[in-house]
Chains A and B, each alone.
Chain A
Amino acid sequence: MSALTPATVLDALSEIPDPEIPVVSIVELGVVKDVRVAGGRVEVDFTPTFMGCPALDAMQRAMRERIESLGAEAEIRVVLDDSWSTDRITPAGRQKLRNAGFAPPAPRAAGAVTLVQLERGPFRCPWCGSTDTKLENVFGPTPCRSLRYCNDCRQPFEQFKTI
């Protein structure tokens, strides 16, 4: 077996699906901030999404198991700062979310999100593409999502919050 490099570890971690929305991988979600390899030891800097997300433990466990399956010792370092934002979700990840019926998060603007932006912003329906949609609830079935409704195709849909 060839020696592990950060790139091969990242490839392996790319196979791990998000525990709650398995259409995207945790790498596409942007939570793997850095990978370092030193001998038989792999260190991953992991930036959690929402702090109350119940999938965080499962993500760490899956990363540890995947790295151990490569024959290395794993250390997952949880980085608790604001370096993860929904802007870290990759373009491929966004497309996969859209295909699965989740509207991907809008890009972060300067300053905090406001209610006016959520009510008036051009949020696009993932089903029909219309931007004639309205906010139903700031909160949704998980901490990362809001509920919206499309006035054109009359379907409710889940919109990723921008954080």
Chain B
Amino acid sequence: MPGRSRAELLLELADDELILGWRNSEWTGIAPFLEEDVAFSSIAQNEIGHARALYELAARELGTDADALAFDRDADAYRSAPLVELRRLEWARTIARHWLYETADSIRLEALKASSDPEIAGIAAKMDREETYHRIHAEMWIDRLLASEDGRARLDEALAELWPYALGVLDDELRPELRRRIEDKLDRAMPDVEPVPRGRHEAELVELLGEMNAVRRSGPAGAQW
């Protein structure tokens, strides 16, 4: 992973998982049907569990604690990819984002599993075991949307919007593999577009952080939760 420190890499992974976990949890109670309510809640729980473990590793290196990293930074300090920040409470968009992220994440985890840093390789291998189920779920839904004309049209529209964001999740050298996997599944070419890179943030992130951190900020300094 070029151009960043170990702590920065850990924060990048943790921020992606935390913010997407939060976005997934927004479906709790309002998904189109009960099974999906359970699925997105469970996926959110996994992602936030991954974020916590990653923040703990980063915190050890930075001399702070996981909660401070997760909740006390300003929006500009987050390293999350804009893809996970978007608030898209529309089912086809949610499924498109879910599938694009899980596919990109899988490529990233495969690279990290080969890391010479045993802690990074170890945590990537552990996360990947759980992420397998997220990928199964996402692909099942892609098949379902592709099976009807209406579903395909909605999916295509969502993919057109989100594709530049999906490319932005990965480093340059991993992007061709994302393109290959997405094109294979859809059986069509994806457009050449400029990726939406990390480092810039969507306005929705500030809103999300305000909501996520409201309880923590309402407590006195040093409150134990």
Chain A residues proximal to chain B, CB less than 8 Å = 50-53, 79-82, 84-85, 112-115, 118, 136-143, 147, 161, 163
Contacts and interface: CB of A to CB of B under 8 A. Distances in A.
A138 B38 CA distance: 10
Nearest to B106: A112
Interface in B126-152: 126-130, 132-133, 136-137, 139-140
Contacts of B129: 82, 85, 163
Contacts of B119: 80
Interface of B: 35, 38-39, 41-43, 45-50, 52-53, 57, 118-119, 121-123, 125-130, 132-133, 136-137, 139-140
Given A143-B42, A143-B45, A143-B46, A113 B132 contact: yes
A51 B13 CA distance: 15
Contacts of A163: 129-130, 132-133
Given A51-B127, A52-B45, A80-B123, A138 B133 contact: yes
A106 B125 CA distance: 20
Interface of B is mostly: helix
10 contacts: A50-B49, A52-B48, A79-B122, A80-B53, A80-B57, A80-B119, A82-B126, A113-B132, A115-B140, A137-B39
B35 A137 contact: yes
Contacts of B122: 79-82
A84 B48 CA distance: 20
B45, B52, B127, most chain A CB atoms within 10 A: B45
A82, A115, A118, most chain B CB atoms within 10 A: A82
Given A50-B49, A52-B52, A139-B41, 9 more contacts: A52-B46, A81-B125, A82-B125, A82-B126, A136-B35, A137-B35, A138-B39, A138-B136, A143-B49
Contact of A115 (B53, B121, B127, B136): B136
